[in-house]
Amino acid sequence: MMKYILAGGTSEVGNRVVKNMVLELGAENIICLVRSTSDCVSVNFLKSLGVQIIVGDVTESEKLFALLNNSHAIYIDMTHPKYYHKSIDVIKKAGIRRAFFVTTTGIYSKYNNASEIYKIGEERIKNSGIEYTILRPSLIYGTDRDRNMTKLLKILAKWPVFPVFGTGQCLMQPIYVQDLADGIATSIFKFEMTGNKEYNLCGPNAISYVRLLELACEALNRKVKLIHIPHRLAVAVAGVGEKIPGFPVKQEQVLRLLEDKSFDITAAQNDLGFTAREFSKGITQEVAFLKEKGIL
C-alpha cells in the first residue's frame, strides 16, 4: 500500500480526515507529523487510531526534509497556507511527487493583506512541478474548536442586541466540519483523478450575513435585536481604532466582512460527489453539541 504522510492532523478537521483515512486505507499506512506543542487530546486521539506519530514542524525545514527524503509517499499538508510558499521547496527537494494542500477561500478576497500570502503560496505550488491538489474551505463551523461561530453563538446567547455592519446582505457560505473532512478525504482517496486540480469545499448555498444571524438565533431559541451600523461609519471607526493598542477590530476585517464570500463548488460536486448540509441544519447541530458540552 502507498504510504501517506500528513501534517496538521491535530486540528479538528485534521482529526476527522485522519479517522476517515484510517477506515479506508489502514492505520499502518499513515504517518502524522505533529508539533511538540500540539494539543494533547488531539494527539492522543491520533494515537488511538493507531497511526504512526512523528514529532516535527513544517516550519523546521531540516526535519521536514529528513521525514520526506526519498519518500514515495503521498504528502498532505493541513497546517496553514501561510507556510506553503516556504515548505513547497523542501517538499520538492525531498522528491515528493504527489501532494495535497488545504488552503482557503480567503484567496479570493480583494484585500491584499488577507489574500496575498495565500496567492503566493498557491502560485508556488502550481509552479513546483509536483502533482498537486488544492482544497479551499470557507468558514468552518460545527465544533467548539472553531474560532468564529462558537464565539458568535456565545455572544448571541448572552446579549439581547447585536451590531451588524452595513445592511448585512453580504453573502457567506460556511462549511460544516464533518462535510469538509469528508470532502478532503475523498479527494485523497481519488488521488489518481484529482491531480493538478483545485476544489472549493463550502456549504451548498451562500446566505446573507443577516440570514446567518437569524438562523443562529433560531437554533439558540433566542430573540436578538440586530442594530445596523452604517458601513462607512464602521470602516472609519475601525480605521481610527486600529491605531490604538489592543483595539479588537482592524479596518480590513470590517471591509472583508462587507464583501461577498460566495464560491463555486461545482468541481467538487462533479469529481468528488461532494455534498454539504444546509447551514440551518448544521448550526442546529452545533448549538446542541455546545450545550451538551456546557459551553452554551
What CATH number did the domain enclosing 88 receive? Answer: 3.40.50.720
Give 196's pLDDT tier (boundaries 50, 70, 90): very high
pLDDT of residue 53: 95
The answer to whether the Cα torsion of 175, 181, 183, 187 is positive or negative is: positive
Last residue of a domain, one of 115, 137, 159: 137
Q: Which residues contact 152 (CB under 8 A, 6 or more apart)?
A: 216
Q: Give the integer Cα–Cα distance in Å for 255 and 260.
A: 10
The pLDDT of residue 166 is 85
Q: What is the mean pLDDT of residues 18-22?
A: 98
Q: Do 133 and 165 belong to one domain?
A: no
Residue 70 forms part of a structural domain:
yes
Q: How far apart are CA 150 and CA 223, in angstroms?
A: 18
Residues 112 and 215 in one domain: no
What pLDDT score was predicted for residue 236? 80
Residue 79 · residue 103 · CB < 8 Å: no
Considering only CA atoms, give the Rg of the chain.
Answer: 20
pLDDT value, residue 16: 98
Q: Quick check: is 197 in a domain?
A: no
> Quick check: is 16 in a domain?
yes
Please indicate, yes or no, whether residues 121 and 158 belong to a single structural domain of this protein.
no
Are residue 73 and residue 162 in the same domain, yes or no?
no
The pTM of the full predicted model, rounded to 2 decimals, is: 0.93
Q: Are residues 23 and 125 in the same domain?
A: yes
Number of domains forming the structure of the chain: 2
Residues 130, 159, single domain; the answer is: no
From 81, 116, 137, the end of a domain falls on 137
Residue 199 lies in a domain: no
Q: Are residues 164 and 245 in the same domain?
A: yes
Domain final residue, candidates 112, 137, 162: 137
Task: Give residue 108's pLDDT.
Answer: 92
Residue range 136-182, pLDDT digits in tens: 999 999 999 988 899 999 999 999 999 888 889 999 999 999 999 99
Mean pLDDT of the chain: 92
Q: Say if 273 falls within a structural domain.
A: no
Evaluate whether residue 190 is within a structural domain.
no
User: Do 88 and 163 lie in a common domain?
Assistant: no
The whole domain housing 127 covers 4-137
The stretch 12-19 carries a mean pLDDT of 97
- DSSP code of residue 148: S
* Judgement on whether residues 215 and 245 belong to the same structural domain of the protein: yes
- Determine the pLDDT at residue 1: 73
Give yes or no: residues 108 and 226 share one domain.
no
Average pLDDT over residues 120-134: 95
Position 15 in a domain: yes
Q: 209-213 contacts: CB < 8 A, separation 24 or more?
A: 209/164, 209/168, 209/169, 209/170, 209/171, 209/172, 209/257, 210/164, 210/167, 210/168, 210/169, 212/172, 212/174, 212/279, 213/156, 213/162, 213/164, 213/168
| For residues 91-104, average pLDDT | 94
Query: Going by C-beta distance under 8 Å and a sequence separation of 6 or more, which residues neighbour residue 171?
Result: 206, 207, 208, 209, 260, 261, 262
Range 91-105 average pLDDT? 94
Residue-wise pLDDT tens digits, 201-258: 999 999 999 999 999 999 999 999 999 988 788 778 777 777 777 766 676 667 777 7
C-alpha cell, 159:
446579549
Residue 268 lies in a domain: no
pLDDT tens for residues 70-81? 778 999 999 988
Specify the DSSP element, H or E, that contains 135.
strand 131-137
When pLDDT is averaged across residues 19-45 and rounded to a whole number, the result is: 94
Question: Are 18 and 63 contained in the same domain?
Answer: yes
**Do 14 and 131 share a domain, yes or no?**
yes
* Category of 294 on φ-ψ map: left (φ > 0), alpha (ψ -120 to 50) or beta: left
Instruction: Name 162's bridge partners.
Output: 226
pLDDT at 75: 96
